[in-house]
């Protein structure tokens, strides 16, 4: 008996018991569907996070000061002076906090970032209406504000905020610009904040000193050198390596992609388990089927079926169930990925490898879980099988 013939016989047996075959298949369909959909979701999250981190600014180095004793921050000029160190392109010191921002009757509690003009370059976040901070704003502690896109939208709606007067924690500020929208990020919206000059922020928040500094290395190759020189400088300054933290974009990326990688693996693992359960379902039904069809097996053996023929017949049956199930699951999974990314404007990476692996795995599930029942059928003694009722 050749393979084509075995496939024909398998389809015959499967169609003879449509509902049961379908329910058995459903286990595999759900398994493969879950693998394809969840892993795509995970991979989508990974690529989104990667894109986001890379969009934070190129060659970015973040310096976080925790301080030690009375020395808990850098002064603005100390922070600015870091720009003179070799390999450093630009420096954006940040004084941050929260503030209530008001315009007319609209009010919003949001993040306040006090910084310098370099911030736009270092964080790759520019004004798309009006202008960003200028040196004069910082030098003269001017009450000017650049709004994140979300804040502008909340306070002003369709109106142009540039030139309007708002109140931040009660003090009057003039809006000089609105930032380009960046969309969602890990920590929520990247557009939900207000930028004012660092000097103004120190006074407004009644807090002296810089705790966060964003630096841009001149080149990617200079990053390590800058990090090392910053660390030795800060060690000299604070004499405590717990007082500060220097990390780079690449490090953040590493940590986050590790997290999302684990997430993807977990999702895939859970989905894989459901595929395994589907396989056990196949084995269960195939065992029942072998018992039910013992007499049929006996008759076939009397008519000259060899062990190999019976084995092939049952094995192909289980492979067809799992393969067809896998194919349907694959299509559904692909459809779900498309639908999901369409509905939520989420970039979900649809990777052909995942689909291929899930489908191949489902076929292997069919072989693996079909082998035992098929072998059981093939080993039946013809006369015992014929006698069974």
Partner 1 sequence: MIRLEGITKAYQLDGVVVEALRGIDLEVKEGEFVAIVGPSGSGKSTLMNIIGCLDTPTTGKYWLKGQEVSKLSDNKLAEIRNLLIGFVFQSFNLLPRLTALENVERPLIYRGVAKKERRKLAEKALERVGLADRMFHRPNQLSGGQQQRVAVARALVGDPAIILADEPTGNLDSVSGKEVMSLLRELHAQGRTVLLITHDAEIARQAERRVKIFDGRIQEEGEVGL
Contact residues: partner 1, CB under 8 A: 1-2, 5, 9, 12-13, 16, 295-296, 298-309, 382-383, 386
Q: How many residues does the chain have?
A: 389
For residue 49, give Cα distances in angstroms to 42, 46, 55, 110, 176: 11, 5, 10, 23, 31
Q: What are the two backbone dihedrals, phi and then psi, of residue 87, each rounded to the nearest 5 degrees?
A: 85, -15
**Least separation in angstroms between CB 299 and partner 1:** 5
**Least separation in angstroms between CB 9 and partner 1:** 8
Q: Which is nearer to partner 1, 90 or 385 (CB)?
A: 385
Q: Which is nearer to partner 1, 88 or 316 (CB)?
A: 316
CB of 297 within 8 A of CB of 365? no
Q: What are the two backbone dihedrals, phi and then psi, of residue 216, each rounded to the nearest 5 degrees?
A: -115, 120
For residues 92 and 275, give the distance between their C-alpha atoms in angstroms, rounded to a whole number. Answer: 51
Residue 250, judged by CB atoms within 10 A of its CB (0-12, 13-18, 19+), counts as middle
Q: Which is nearer to partner 1, 255 or 302 (CB)?
A: 302
Which among 297, 319, 359 has a CA at the least distance from the CA of 3? 319
Q: Which is nearer to partner 1, 3 or 343 (CB)?
A: 3
**Least separation in angstroms between CB 287 and partner 1:** 19
Which among 52, 46, 51 has a CA at the least distance from the CA of 349? 46
Q: Which is nearer to partner 1, 225 or 299 (CB)?
A: 299
**216 three-state secondary structure:** strand
**Least separation in angstroms between CB 15 and partner 1:** 9
**Least separation in angstroms between CB 362 and partner 1:** 26
For residues 124 and 112, give the distance between their C-alpha atoms in angstroms, rounded to a whole number. Answer: 18
Q: Which is nearer to partner 1, 276 or 386 (CB)?
A: 386
Instruction: Quickly tell me which residue has 């590790």 as its tokens.
Output: 258
**Least separation in angstroms between CB 305 and partner 1:** 5
Instruction: Quickly tell me which residue has 């286990």 as its tokens.
Output: 27
**Least separation in angstroms between CB 315 and partner 1:** 16
For 305-314, letters b (16+ CB in 10 Å) and e give: beeebbbbbb
Q: Which is nearer to partner 1, 13 or 101 (CB)?
A: 13
Q: 294: which 2 tokens?
A: 């013992």
Q: 317: which 2 tokens?
A: 């049956």
Which among 92, 171, 85, 103 has a CA at the least distance from the CA of 133? 92
Q: Which is nearer to partner 1, 215 or 305 (CB)?
A: 305
**Least separation in angstroms between CB 13 and partner 1:** 8
């Amino acid at each position: 008996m050749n393979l084509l013939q075995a496939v024909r016989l398998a389809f015959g047996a499967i169609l003879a018991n449509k509902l049961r075959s379908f329910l058995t298949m459903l286990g595999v369909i759900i398994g493969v569907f879950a693998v394809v959909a969840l892993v795509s979701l995970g991979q989508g999250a990974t690529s989104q996070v990667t894109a986001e981190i890379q969009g934070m600014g190129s060659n970015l180095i973040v310096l976080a000061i925790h301080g030690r004793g009375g020395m808990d921050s850098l002064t603005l000029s100390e922070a600015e002076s870091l720009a003179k160190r070799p390999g450093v392109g630009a420096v954006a010191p940040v004084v941050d906090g929260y503030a209530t921002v008001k315009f007319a009757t609209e009010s919003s509690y949001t993040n306040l970032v006090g910084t310098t003009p370099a911030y736009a370059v270092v964080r790759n976040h520019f004004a798309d209406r009006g202008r960003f901070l200028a040196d004069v704003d910082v030098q003269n502690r001017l009450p000017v504000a650049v709004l994140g896109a979300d804040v502008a939208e909340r306070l002003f709606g369709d109106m142009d905020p540039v030139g309007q007067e708002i109140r931040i924690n009660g003090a009057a500020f003039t809006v000089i610009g609105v930032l380009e929208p960046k969309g969602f990020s890990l920590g929520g919206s990247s557009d939900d904040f207000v930028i004012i000059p660092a000097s103004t922020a120190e006074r407004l928040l009644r807090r002296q000193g810089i705790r966060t500094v964003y630096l841009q290395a001149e080149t990617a190759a200079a990053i390590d050198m800058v990090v090392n020189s910053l660390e030795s400088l800060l060690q000299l300054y604070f004499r405590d390596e717990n007082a500060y933290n220097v990390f780079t974009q690449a490090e953040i990326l590493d940590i986050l992609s590790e997290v999302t990688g684990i997430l993807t693996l977990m999702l895939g693992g859970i989905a894989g388990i459901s595929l395994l359960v589907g396989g056990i379902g196949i084995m269960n039904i195939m065992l029942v089927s072998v018992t039910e069809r013992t007499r049929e097996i006996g008759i076939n053996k009397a008519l000259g079926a060899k062990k190999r023929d019976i084995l092939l017949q049952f094995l192909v049956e289980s492979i067809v169930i799992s393969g067809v199930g896998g194919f349907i699951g694959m299509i559904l999974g692909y459809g779900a990925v498309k639908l999901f990314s369409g509905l939520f404007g989420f970039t979900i990476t649809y990777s052909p490898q995942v689909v291929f692996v899930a489908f191949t795995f489902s076929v292997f599930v069919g072989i693996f879980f079909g082998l035992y029942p098929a072998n059981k059928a093939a080993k039946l003694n013809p006369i015992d099988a014929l006698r069974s009722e």
